Amino acid sequence: MNRYPLWKYAILAIALLVGLVYTLPNLFGEAPAVQVSSGKATLKLGPDMVPRVQQTLAQAGIPADFVQFDGNSVRARFATTDLQIKAKDAIGQALNPDPTDPSYIVALNLVSRSPQALTAVAARPMALGLDLRGGVHFLMQVDMKSALTKKAESLTGDIRTLLRDKNLRHAGITRDGNKVEVRFRDRETLTAAQNLLLDQLPDLQWAEGSDGADLKLTGELKPEAARRVQETAVKQNITTLHNRVNELGVAEPVIQQQGLDRVVVQLPGVQDTAKAKDIIGRTATLEVRLVDDSAEAAAAAAGNGPVPFGTERYVERGGAPLIVKRQVILTGENLTDAQPGFDQQTQEAAVHLTLDARGARIFKDVTRENVGKRMAILLFEKGKGEVVTAPVIRTEIGGGRVQISGRMTTVEANDTALLLRSGSLAAPMEIIEERTIGPSLGAENIAKGFNSVMFGFAAIAAFMCVYYLLFGVFSTLALALNLLLLVAVLSMIQATLTLPGIAAIALTLGMAIDANVLINERVREELRNGASPQTAINNGYERAFATILDSNVTTLIAGVALLAFGSGPVRGFAVVHCLGILTSMFSAVMFSRGLVNLWYGRQKKLKGVSIGQVWKPDGGTTPAQG
């Protein structure tokens, strides 16, 4: 009766193997590395950077463990810190010929020492939270009210333009908070205007009313449109923050949405809150100007002459210089949206821009007067400008919907749209929570957390082995597997380990032993009541299971409640706690049973089990037997 079919042993073996593979990367520690990432929003770093870095290192004679591309940065790992610093200097000189205007950020970093074979099966170590690593944490609140007001403001302009274009006379348009009021003298115009507005501005809902002698239409953003505005605002702010934080050269920044209107920014390694705040609070600006196509300008661009009066020299994306007029036609404030898409006629990749009413009017005038000329869209960051794109104006463009197309790939169109959108923050943000943790304190926290788990585990293991003998050893092994699986699962989902997380691991292990105590006590009780060893093992496990299930469900209820309502550190605690309960069900019941079955299962005439002394009230004890 105490035998497992082969497939059950297979499951146990697979669980053990998977547990080992995914836990291993956490044990290797970290090695010095150099990270190369893009220093400009307009510059995208691709896998082609790998051979460049390799070449540079080969020329400088610095041996690297490996150079690899990981999505948006290239990392090279080195054996020692000395090599790392030398490599940083060499790569920095090769990639950034002009140190005052670096295109790439070359930063010192740490990468896991775990072998490539493990990384290949997506086995990566857990990221360490700020409390274990040191760094800065910001929680920022996005001002949604102002995002909505901004939208209402731009809609007000749109309404004005629409009504004027259709020659519908109104008696005044005003914005009151997030509402737009349009007054009319007669009903006919009102109806015509209402039909037009409903058709052209689907985001607004309209209510009729009267104001003295005038008729009035009050427009308000539809709830779903308002929600969309808010979602876009948070997304855009996150994108902007990403771009800015990249410049800090922070190893692994975390920028995430939390709740509806909050953004968490975590910058490991940064200790200087003032500088961090300065950078994430900065604004980038967008400008539209005309390109100077004159012969002098062409000569100046080629470097053969002075820059003509009233123009400036900028570098186009891809490196070609361009002479651009100083006069600014439009700024990013007039841009309400930018989306990637396709040209309807040529099916080429394009970026669709939406301008607000004022921008649309100016744009219409400028394009009418400059057909056939080039227009440049510039992005200014850190006081330096760069030409994002410089398309040729084909026709007069009215209506505020602009399409930029030509010689763009889909990826470029996506990037440009993102860039144009993320030039500035969609809505202001306020820091509502801030935390800095020194790196030495982080290291201390790791040691403390590790020690608590280790000593606690050792104490429990020692006690179990002494009190329950062989069954205690099985229980300890099951508990060890629980730890292994828990760490493996956390690594698999790439959870961030924090001190409360470590505390949860310790606590969960302390609670998980309960299942084995229940089982062992039940087996003893069965033996005490005179059951044969094999029956006692079987009944012990069977009868204890219902209780184990019950008790784990109640613990899980508390864990899930914490997960649902907790935030920040409590959430980390709850995630580990819940996962630990689930893994403990597997390890404590199935794995320990597997061990017992493997050990005792084949012995047909089992005389006794090694579960410690079983005392019987009717005199005499069954001595411990192996």
Partner 1 sequence: MEFFRIRRDIPFMRHALVLNVISALTYAAAVFFIATRGLHLSIEFTGGTVIEVAYPKAADVGKVRETVDALNFGESQVQNFGTSTDVLIRLPVRGDVKQGEVVARVFDALCKAEGSSVATQQLTTDKGESVSKPVCGTLGSEPVVLSRSEFVGPSVGSELARDGAFALLATIAGIMIYLAFRFEWKFSVAGIVANLHDVIIIVGFFAFFQWEFSLAVLAAVLAVLGYSVNESVVIFDRVREAFRKFRKLTPREVIDHAITSTISRTIITHGSTLMMVVSMYLFGGPTLHYFALALMIGILFGIYSSVFVAAAIAMWLGVKREDLVQGGGPTKETDPDDPNAGAVV
555 to 614, contacts with partner 1 by CB under 8 A?
555-562, 564-570, 573-574, 577, 612-614
Question: To the nearest whole angstrom, how small is the minimum distance from the Cβ of residue 54 to partner 1?
Answer: 20
Tokens of 486: 């828990």
Instruction: Please report the DSSP string for 596-612 in residue order.
Output: HHHHHTT-TT-----SS
Among 25-33, 178-186, 295-303, 385-393, the segment contacting partner 1 (CB under 8 A) = 25-33
Distance CA 62, CA 56 (A): 9
Distance CA 206, CA 221 (A): 9
Of 92, 249, 340, 533, the residue at the interface with partner 1 (CB under 8 A) is: 249
Contact status: 264 vs partner 1 (CB under 8 A): no
- How many of the other CB atoms lie within 10 Å of CB of 348? 16
Among 213-221, 226-234, 393-401, 458-466, the segment contacting partner 1 (CB under 8 A) = 458-466
For 613, phi and psi rounded to 5 degrees? Answer: -70, 130
Of 272, 365, 369, 542, the residue at the interface with partner 1 (CB under 8 A) is: 272
Contact status: 626 vs partner 1 (CB under 8 A): no
DSSP 8-state class, residue 374: B
Q: Which residues of 6-16 are buried (b: 16+ CB within 10 A; e: fewer)?
A: eeeeeebeebb
Question: To the nearest whole angstrom, how small is the minimum distance from the Cβ of residue 423 to partner 1?
Answer: 25
Contact status: 217 vs partner 1 (CB under 8 A): no
Return the amino acid letter for 623.
P
Contact status: 279 vs partner 1 (CB under 8 A): no
Sequence-ordered list of residues with C-beta below 8 angstroms from that of 342, at least 6 positions apart, any chain: 348, 349, 350
- Is residue 153 within 8 A of residue 223, CB to CB? The reply is no
Among 67-75, 150-158, 335-343, 497-505, the segment contacting partner 1 (CB under 8 A) = 497-505
Distance CA 127, CA 503 (A): 16
Task: Return the residues of window 385-444 that contact partner 1 according to CB under 8 A.
Answer: 431-441, 444
Contact status: 26 vs partner 1 (CB under 8 A): no
Contact status: 551 vs partner 1 (CB under 8 A): yes
Tokens of 437: 């943790």
Among 89-97, 370-378, 449-457, 583-591, the segment contacting partner 1 (CB under 8 A) = 449-457
Contact status: 467 vs partner 1 (CB under 8 A): yes
Of 23, 422, 445, 587, the residue at the interface with partner 1 (CB under 8 A) is: 445
Contact status: 525 vs partner 1 (CB under 8 A): yes
Among 301-309, 480-488, 553-561, 596-604, the segment contacting partner 1 (CB under 8 A) = 553-561
Question: To the nearest whole angstrom, how small is the minimum distance from the Cβ of residue 44 to partner 1?
Answer: 24
DSSP 8-state class, residue 437: E
Among 166-174, 289-297, 397-405, 501-509, the segment contacting partner 1 (CB under 8 A) = 501-509
Residues near partner 1 (CB under 8 A), total: 96
Pairing of strands 321-331, 335-342: unpaired
Distance CA 59, CA 56 (A): 5
Would you mind telling me the total number of residues written for the chain in this entry? 626
Question: To the nearest whole angstrom, how small is the minimum distance from the Cβ of residue 264 to partner 1?
Answer: 12
Task: Return the residues of window 104-133 that contact partner 1 according to CB under 8 A.
Answer: 107-110, 131
- Is residue 290 within 8 A of residue 373, CB to CB? The reply is yes
Contact status: 28 vs partner 1 (CB under 8 A): no
Question: To the nearest whole angstrom, how small is the minimum distance from the Cβ of residue 440 to partner 1?
Answer: 7
Distance CA 122, CA 558 (A): 32
Contact status: 241 vs partner 1 (CB under 8 A): no
Contact status: 46 vs partner 1 (CB under 8 A): no
Helix (H) / strand (E) containing 127: strand 127-128
Question: To the nearest whole angstrom, how small is the minimum distance from the Cβ of residue 466 to partner 1?
Answer: 7
Pairing of strands 104-112, 311-315: unpaired
Q: Kindly tell me the sign of the dihedral angle through the C-alpha atoms of 78, 81, 83, 86.
A: positive
For 71, phi and psi rounded to 5 degrees? Answer: 100, -60
Among 298-306, 384-392, 418-426, 448-456, the segment contacting partner 1 (CB under 8 A) = 448-456
Contact status: 260 vs partner 1 (CB under 8 A): no
- Is residue 105 within 8 A of residue 249, CB to CB? The reply is yes
Report the residue number, 413 or 505, with the smaller CB distance to partner 1: 505
Terminus-to-terminus CA distance in the chain, angstroms?
19
Report the residue number, 273 or 403, with the smaller CB distance to partner 1: 273
Of 506, 527, 585, 595, the residue at the interface with partner 1 (CB under 8 A) is: 506
